[in-house]
Amino acid sequence: MASPDAPSEESDWSSLTILSVLRVFRSVAAGFINVMFPYFVLVQLYQNTSQGYLVLGLVYTAATLASAGFGLLLGFSADLVGRKSTFLVALAMLPLSTLLLLVSNALPVVFLAAAVGGYSATGSLAGGGVGGVAAPIQSALMTDLTSRKDRTFLFGLLAFLAGIAAAGGAFGAGLLTSDTILVVATVLGTISCVLGLFLRDRAEPERRQRMRTAKVIGQFSLTGLLNGLSQGLLTPFLIPFFILVYNVQKADMGLYTGVSGLIASCSLLFAPSLEKALGFLGSIYATRGGTILIALAFPFVRILPVSIAFYCVFPSLRVMAVPIQQSAMMDMVGAGERGRAFGINQASRLLFSSVGTAFTGYEFNANLIYIPFLAYAVVMAGNLFLYHRFFRTYESPAMRARSPAEPAASDPPPERPP
């Protein structure tokens, strides 16, 4: 297997194009489902009663836990069995989930579909938001298919395209019935599975099960843990916040969600410039720190246009530095351990996201809406402290002063102990 220090091959543009197209199809489905699903549970199944908020929180919690388990399992499988074959299994889970909801609206089926499809709403539209078990393998494949000089840009570009597609789905969700949305999502998810058959996989299965870069993976998983907890506290309940506080209708909420997704998507294109200007840690401090300020103001400023502005900006600040964080993690992780690195990181994030989601579901049910926002600010501050503690010695290649003795721009930097 290649080591982290081995020179990268040139980017495989053919496979990257296929990966981008299939993610666009999945992201359109994600945009539909992210807007439709809370209305499906709160309005269609529970007629806006308080019990609906508690049930929605439990469904999101169950789906988050399931996504964590599936993501961890598939992340290990991607390294030890094969990335393409594992990715195809992950792709199939989204259309299977929407098909289940078309068959039955019974509550056990709703729980099962949400678990299989990853309806945990733990990511912005720019992150896909649904079907999160595919994300670790997709990121590992992306790393294998790109050279280091292209990687941050392509991570951001792929997320940008996904976000634009998801925003389109969110806009459309306000115009279609739930059953129509589920049919369209099933078709789009199936197309993405077919496209996945044409991907090339550069990585050979890793025979060595012991991870050489376990310490770094553990440190990123700890930061992911707090990031997931903060995410679970707020992200799944931003749409329910507008339903509860302002009684916003689905068509209007689809518009706001679409605009928010577009802004978040466009912000990802600034990741390479942000990395050059601030470096890895500076980018994390500036963007994630900004979300703390918004969270502290969000529940107390009960003016609809201001709340919409917060809603449109908040996701962009959460995701803007994600391509930078992904590139930094791949700089420090062994080439044969990428699937496990992303899988473990996502599992830790989602496990604690489920804790935050369950907590917020209870607080919303008790009408203590402001508590989760305050908790978010405290948890995110702790997350920023861990980033500083673990990675203060890492220097982003974009910030490193070049000299003739340094490796070429296409080569990944040597592994640097945090």
Q: Which two tokens stand for residue 159?
A: 């997320």
Measured distance CA(92)–CA(89) in Å, rounded: 5
**Max Cα-Cα span within the chain:** 67
For residue 143, pLDDT over 90 is answered with: no
Measured distance CA(160)–CA(263) in Å, rounded: 10
Measured distance CA(295)–CA(238) in Å, rounded: 11
pLDDT number for residue 166 = 81
**What are phi and psi for residue 348, nearest 5 degrees?**
-65, -40
pLDDT number for residue 298 = 93
Measured distance CA(245)–CA(249) in Å, rounded: 12
pTM for the whole structure: 0.71
For residue 309, pLDDT over 90 is answered with: yes
For residue 413, pLDDT over 70 is answered with: no
Name the DSSP letter for residue 212: T
Measured distance CA(399)–CA(395) in Å, rounded: 7
pLDDT number for residue 283 = 93
pLDDT number for residue 1 = 35
Q: Does some domain include residue 53? A: yes
Name every residue whose Cβ is closer than 8 Å to that of residue 13 and which is 6 or more positions away in sequence.
Answer: none
Into how many domains does the chain fold? 1
Name the DSSP letter for residue 121: -
Q: What is the DSSP code string of 144-161? A: HHS-HHHHHHHHHHHHHH
pLDDT number for residue 3 = 40
Residue 315 belongs to a domain with what CATH number? 1.20.1250.20
Measured distance CA(140)–CA(375) in Å, rounded: 32
Mean pLDDT score, 221-235: 90
pLDDT number for residue 205 = 65
Report the amino acid identity of residue 31: G
- Could you list the residue range(s) of the whole structural domain that residue 374 is in? 13-200+213-391
Q: Does some domain include residue 158? A: yes
Q: Does some domain include residue 410? A: no
Kindly give the residue spans of alpha helices, DSSP state H, lying in 197-237: 214-234
- pLDDT, one tens digit per residue, over 343-356 is 888 788 878 887 88
Cβ–Cβ < 8 Å for 372, 234: yes
Q: Which residue has the tokens 């912005």?
A: 124
pLDDT number for residue 400 = 59
Cβ–Cβ < 8 Å for 200, 15: yes
Share of the chain above pLDDT 70, in %: 86
For residue 226, pLDDT over 80 is answered with: yes
Q: Which two tokens stand for residue 173?
A: 């969700």
Angle between helices 370-391 and 271-297 (to 10 degrees): 140
For residue 61, pLDDT over 50 is answered with: yes
Mean pLDDT score, 62-78: 83
Measured distance CA(154)–CA(142) in Å, rounded: 8
120: number of Cβ within 10 Å: 29
Angle between helices 214-234 and 370-391 (to 10 degrees): 160
Which whole-number Å values give the CA distances from 117 to 147, 203, 259, 314, 415, in the listed order?
Answer: 31, 27, 24, 25, 35
pLDDT number for residue 417 = 42
- pLDDT, one tens digit per residue, over 253-283 is 888 888 888 888 888 888 888 988 898 999 9
The mean predicted confidence, pLDDT, of the chain is: 82
Mean pLDDT score, 147-156: 80
Q: Does some domain include residue 417? A: no
Report the amino acid identity of residue 118: G
The residue with greater pLDDT, 306 or 124, is: 306
Cβ–Cβ < 8 Å for 172, 60: no
Measured distance CA(122)–CA(323) in Å, rounded: 17
Mean pLDDT score, 142-147: 82
Q: Which two tokens stand for residue 381?
A: 């501050």
Q: Does some domain include residue 406? A: no
Q: Which of 101, 107, 131 is nearest to 59 (CA)?
A: 107
Q: Does some domain include residue 279? A: yes
Q: Which of 80, 355, 322 is nearest to 230 (CA)?
A: 355
Measured distance CA(246)–CA(313) in Å, rounded: 19
Q: Which two tokens stand for residue 246?
A: 């302002």
Name every residue whose Cβ is closer than 8 Å to that of residue 139 and which is 6 or more positions away in sequence.
Answer: 155, 326, 338, 342
Share of the chain above pLDDT 90, in %: 25
Q: Does some domain include residue 207? A: no
Q: Does some domain include residue 415? A: no
